A and B are shown apart, each in its own frame.
Chain A
Amino acid sequence: MITFEHVSKRYPGAANALLDINFHLDAGEMVFLTGHSGAGKSTLLRLILLLEQATRGQVLVDGRNLSKTSPRLTPQVRQHIGMIFQDHKLLSDKTVFDNVSLPLIIAGMRYADIKKRVRAALDKVGLLSKEKSWPLTLSGGEQQRVGIARAIVGMPPILLADEPTGNLDPQLSRELFSLFQQLNEHGVTVMVASHDLSLIRAMGQRVLVLSGGRLIDDIPAAVSAAAVS
């Protein structure tokens, strides 16, 4: 589903943020991405979402070579990816319901269906009672969960999350990770960037470790799971 081949990324006027990254993620796989701050986790996710272009190497998503994709098709690529952002990226002048419904409106779905799906997504993140609230009246954790609802509402085949537990307490973080696992069991390819090593260990999934822009470790799920028990 996602393949990196000798990918390097250099921001103009900075050192390499990513250097010669190679990995492959099968459809329906789940992987955690970890590493110190500034290791390049966000950059790696941004490459998949076409927010940046690789300086060298190739990124393939669902068989499509992103560096050879015309900018016109960028929206299509993004519509197939649910992204949870480190800073939520909610629209403050729209209610929770309207924020979550945006991907479906972009897809041109019927309003009756939108309503059902948005409710279901909000229910999954435990915010159904807040559908009429404004994002700024919610706590950081609640906003984060609205962002998650928006990412999953369109049922994209790929889910990317950048520090989704940044504002959540350990209890909520665990619940969230198991929600990801649940989606993954339904066939969604999931990639989660996180600092939370203890939580990652507890999940027993494949882990990619970044350091200084290099991929220094790729722990298979089997090993990871063995370590848990």
Chain B
Amino acid sequence: MSIKSVRRRIRARTRRQLYSFFSSLGSLLGHRLGTLMTVLVLGIAMALPLGLYVTLHNLRDLDLKQDEWGTITVFLNDEVTEAGAVEFARKVNQRLDASAVMISPDQGMEEFRKVSGFGQALDLFEENPLPWTLLVTPQAADSEELGARVTVLAAWIEEQEAVDIVQVDHKWMRRLSGLIGLGDALVTVLSVMFSLAVVVVVANTIRLDVGNRAEEIQVLSLIGADDSFIRQPFLYTGFWYGLLGALLALVLLSVSIFYLNRPLEQLLNAYGKSFELDGLGGLRVVFVLLAGGALGLCGAWVSVERYLRQLRVGGLPGRS
């Protein structure tokens, strides 16, 4: 076979691909309502796992700001004076795995006044009822280690004479990280299930499509079209369905994020956190679109293959 004839073949194949490409677009646009409904179903199916994924992603971001969540608040006994508090803070700071910040009763009152909004009412107290307070922060590389450190540190502090009450936030944090772990598993399960759903939905749509165009397939085969020529437009159609579904899912997601951002910000502000909801980054968006397209392609393939096999076994229906 000469190079020239190889080149001619490649060119012919490219033209056939182009034809299939445009004919698939044509058939999608030809059945606008049907296409829209399929894409809608696919979009919603894909938005669910994506939404959960994004939620978890954001929660994990929270988790990473662990130094704040892991802080131990230590209220010292009423009798402890400033000197006693300094002494205790020094003791904590001597430990390699922790550092303490002191808050005097006056500072505490000031802060409380701001946050609580009681304002003047607090002036009714003849003397400041707040004790000296320490914010103790353990040093740790990750949340796992932090959890352990906090536990040890809290136990040690609790034993100290000067200490009245120890408040630890890390239980909450641990629960959160447990939930995130569960959520990760859930994302995997949902992704698998909804991917399957996407394949099935596309397969079914293409099956109907193939059924509607049985006559066309038969005629094409009579005038010498091979399986791949018959298959191509349907594969493209499946790919489009998947891609459009993924696109819609991403749009739904962005709208949801936009809508949720404000109330969430308010909620987190109440915790004293500033926070910005993250969407999906550029590379992930591309991945989602391609994955959608690939799933659609799979669905189409399953249906068309099944039909072509039937055709081969049963022979061409109708005689001339």
A55 to chain B, nearest CB (A): 14
Let me know if A76 and B224 touch, CB within 8 A: yes
B12 touches A79 (CB 8 A): no
Q: Which residues of A contact B221 (CB under 8 A)?
A: 75, 78
Which residues of chain A have C-beta atoms less than 8 A from B319's C-beta?
42, 46, 51
Chain A positions 42 through 83: 1 when the CB is less than 8 Å from some CB of chain B, otherwise 0: 100110010110000000000000000001100111111101
A91 close to B215 (CB less than 8 A): yes
| Residue in contact with B16 in the complex, picked from A46, A51, A106, CB distance below 8 Å | A106
Q: Are B320 and A85 in contact (CB under 8 A)?
A: yes
Task: Flag A97-114 by CB within 8 Å of B: 1 or 0 each.
Answer: 000001101111111000
B182 within 8 A of A: no
Min CB distance B190 to A, Å, is: 40
**Interfacial chain A residues near B226, Cβ < 8 Å:** 72, 75
In the complex, the chain B residue whose C-beta lies closest to that of A98 is: B23
Q: Are A91 and B320 in contact (CB under 8 A)?
A: no
Is A109 a contact of B223 with CB atoms below 8 Å? no
Q: Indicate if the CB atoms of A75 and B225 lie closer than 8 Å.
A: yes
Q: Given known contacts A87-B320, A89-B320, A91-B216, is B222 in contact with A49 (CB within 8 Å)?
A: yes
Residue from the list A86, A93, A108 in contact with B320, Cβ < 8 A: A86
Least Cβ–Cβ distance between B292 and chain A, in angstroms: 29
A103 touches which of B19, B223, B312 (Cβ 8 Å) = B223
B12 touches A102 (CB 8 A): no
Q: Which residue of A lies closest to B226 (CB)?
A: A75
* Contact code string B254-273 (vs A, CB < 8 Å = 1, else 0): 00000000000000000000
- Interface residue tally for chain B (C-beta within 8 Å): 25
Q: B75 contacts the other chain (Cβ, under 8 Å)?
A: no
Within 8 A of B (CB), among A129-185: 150, 162
Q: Which of A86, A90, A93 has the most chain B CB within a 10 Å cutoff? A: A93
Contact A102 B223 (CB under 8 A): yes
What's the Cα separation between A84 and B223 when bound, in Å?
10
Q: Check if B224 sits within 8 Å of A108, measured CB to CB.
A: no
Q: Which residues of B contact A51 (CB under 8 A)?
A: 222, 315-316, 319-320
The interface residues of chain B lying within 8 Å CB-to-CB of A71 are 312
B320 touches A78 (CB 8 A): no
Q: Is B194's CB within 8 Å of the partner chain A?
A: no
Interface residue B229 (Cβ < 8 Å from any Cβ of A): yes
B220 in contact (CB, < 8 A): yes
Cα(A91)–Cα(B222), bound, Å: 12
Could you tell me which residues of chain B, from 1 to 32, have a CB within 8 Å of some CB in chain A?
11-16, 19
Given contacts A42-B319, A51-B316, A78-B224, A106 and B229 within 8 Å (CB-CB): yes
Contacts A89-B219, A91-B215, A108-B13 given: A103-B224 contact, CB under 8 Å? yes
Task: Select from chain B the residue with minimum beta-carbon distance to A163.
Answer: B320
Whole-angstrom distance between the Cβ of B278 and the nearest chain A Cβ: 47
Are B215 and A162 in touch, CB under 8 angstroms? no
Residues of A within 8 A of B215 (CB): 91
Residues of B within 8 A of A81 (CB): 224
- What is the CA–CA distance of A111 and B16 in the complex, to the nearest angstrom? 11
B30 to chain A, nearest CB (A): 9
- Whether A108 contacts B11 by the Cβ 8 Å rule is yes
B216 pairs with A108, CB closer than 8 A: no
Q: Report the nearest B residue to A80, measured CB to CB.
A: B224
Q: Mark B197-225, 1 if CB is under 8 A from A, else 0.
A: 00000000000000000011011111111
Are A108's CB and B223's CB within 8 A? no
B residues lining the A interface (CB < 8 Å): 11-16, 19, 215-216, 218-227, 229, 312, 315-316, 319-320
Residues of A within 8 A of B (CB): 42, 45-46, 49, 51-52, 71-72, 75-81, 83, 85-87, 89-91, 93, 102-103, 105-111, 150, 162
A-B pairs, 9 with minimum CB distance: A108-B12, A79-B224, A78-B224, A75-B226, A85-B320, A108-B15, A108-B16, A86-B320, A106-B225
With A51-B315, A90-B219 already in contact, 17 other A-B pairs whose C-beta atoms are closer than 8 Å:
A45-B320, A49-B222, A51-B316, A51-B319, A75-B221, A75-B225, A77-B224, A81-B224, A83-B222, A85-B222, A89-B218, A105-B16, A105-B19, A108-B12, A108-B13, A108-B15, A109-B12
Can you pick out 23 interface pairs between chain A and chain B where the beta carbons lie within 8 Å of each other?
Answer: A49-B222, A51-B315, A52-B315, A75-B224, A75-B225, A75-B227, A78-B222, A79-B223, A79-B224, A83-B223, A86-B320, A89-B218, A89-B219, A91-B219, A102-B223, A103-B223, A105-B19, A107-B12, A108-B11, A108-B12, A108-B16, A109-B12, A110-B15
